[in-house]
């Protein structure tokens, strides 16, 4: 394998660097990287890995573009609303660099497809926004012996680390157990500063390039934290926990992370099949409901416990939010309070 004349022109500024040169650029061309998620973190990761010349890039994401994404997911435009994130990202990135081989996976990462997917790549980048996927990605990376580049964001703060790199510590060494779902809101519930994922995602891409080219100090056994409001950055050391063994995937990472519910998740089509013999409960915030809703009673998740008496118990109840995560939490709360009627949640987006 060698660089073509056009590729040398494309990567000229890399090749000029003694630390990379043509040899390093060839390593990038040969590299195979899988990016989980094409959202806030995935967009900058994908843009910079594509621009850098990573030869094969896989993108796995089953989500579609929403208007609220545009504040931070800068691969997309207003014209892309409703389209597949993964497919739209690849279309846009192909125009940035025509020398990249893209693999599209418009599906969710799960315990059935993770091992096969990971085996086909050299490095995995986790751009997900939920704990089940993070634990799944970690465990699959350990089983397949792949380094995992981790990034996470919360309002104005971000984290970056590299797990399972040459036998280094893993995500479970840093976070052995998942936090309670009630204590781990996502961006749709609390918001996020738009430029934050751009910075954290760029740092993730930087770790990939360092590993591929064999330059610099990789963030293994180290957690970088970044605060956008104070501009303070810290690198915290942590150790590998040799007592943790990961030999197989959990069949249900939602259950392992404490957000499994006993009753059923239903789709939009299944909801129609109930023929309106149910009550609807919207647990999103008021500003979300004002933009669009499908009816029903409105009680934000944060107010559900103290306002649960407003909900009737003589009919089936269908709870909805944006993606199903808050709905599952709502069902858990109602069950703990003592609701005995059948509780469903919408497990796909209605917006």
Kindly tell me the burial class for residue 153, based on how many C-beta atoms sit within 10 Å of its own C-beta (0-12, 13-18, 19 or more): buried
Q: What is the 3-state secondary structure (H, E, C) of the chain?
A: CCCCHHHHHHCHHHHCCCCCHHHHHHHHHHCEEEEECCCCCHHHHHHHHHHHCCCEEEEECCCECCHHHHHCCCCCCHHHCCCEHHHHHHHHHHHHCCCCEEEEECCCCCCCCHHHHHHCCCEEEECCCCHHHHHHHHHHHHHHCCCEEEEEEEECEEEEEEECCCCCCCHHHHCCCCCCHHHCCCHHHHCECCHHHHHHHHHHHHHHHHHHHCCCCCCECEEEEEECCCCCEEEEECCCCCCCCCCCCCCCHHHHCCCCCCCCEECHHHHHHCCCCCEEEECCCHHHHHHCCCCCEECCHHHHHHHHHHCCCCCCEEEECCCCHHHHHHHHHHHHHCCCCCEEEECCCCC
Residue identified by tokens 């085996």 is: 119
Task: Point out the residues that are catalytic.
Answer: 187, 321
Euclidean distance between CA atoms 123 and 165, whole angstroms = 9
């Amino acid at each position: 394998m060698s660089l073509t004349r056009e590729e040398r022109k494309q990567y000229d500024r890399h090749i000029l660097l003694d630390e990379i040169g043509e040899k390093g650029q060839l390593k990038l061309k040969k590299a195979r990287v899988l990016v989980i998620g094409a959202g806030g973190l995935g967009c900058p990761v994908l843009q910079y890995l594509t621009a850098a010349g990573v030869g094969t890039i896989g993108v796995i994401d089953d989500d579609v573009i929403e208007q609220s994404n545009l504040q931070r997911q800068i691969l997309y435009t207003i014209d892309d609303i409703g389209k597949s994130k993964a497919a739209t990202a690849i279309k846009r990135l192909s125009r940035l660099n025509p020398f990249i081989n893209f693999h599209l996976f418009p599906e969710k990462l799960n315990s059935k497809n993770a091992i096969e997917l990971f085996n086909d790549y050299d490095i995995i980048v986790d751009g997900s926004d939920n704990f089940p996927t993070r634990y799944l990605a970690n465990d699959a990376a350990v089983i397949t012996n792949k380094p995992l580049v981790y990034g996470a964001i919360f309002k104005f703060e971000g984290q970056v680390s590299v797990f399972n790199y040459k036998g280094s510590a893993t995500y479970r060494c840093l976070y052995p157990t998942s936090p309670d779902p009630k204590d781990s809101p996502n961006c749709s519930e609390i918001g996020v500063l738009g430029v934050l994922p751009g910075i954290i995602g760029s740092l993730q891409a930087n770790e990939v390039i360092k590993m591929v080219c064999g330059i610099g100090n990789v963030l293994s056994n180290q957690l970088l934290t970044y605060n956008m409001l104070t501009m303070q950055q810290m690198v915290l050391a942590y150790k590998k926990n040799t007592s943790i063994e990961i030999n197989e995937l959990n069949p249900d990472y939602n259950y392992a992370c404490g957000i499994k519910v006993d009753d059923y998740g239903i789709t939009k089509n299944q909801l129609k099949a109930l023929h309106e013999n149910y009550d609807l409960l919207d647990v999103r915030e008021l500003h979300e409901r004002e933009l669009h809703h499908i009816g029903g009673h409105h009680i934000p998740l944060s107010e559900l416990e103290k306002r649960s008496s407003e909900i009737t118990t003589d009919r089936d109840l269908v709870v909805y939010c944006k993606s199903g995560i808050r709905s599952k939490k709502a069902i858990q709360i109602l069950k703990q309070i003592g609701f005995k009627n059948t509780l469903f949640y919408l497990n796909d987006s209605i917006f």
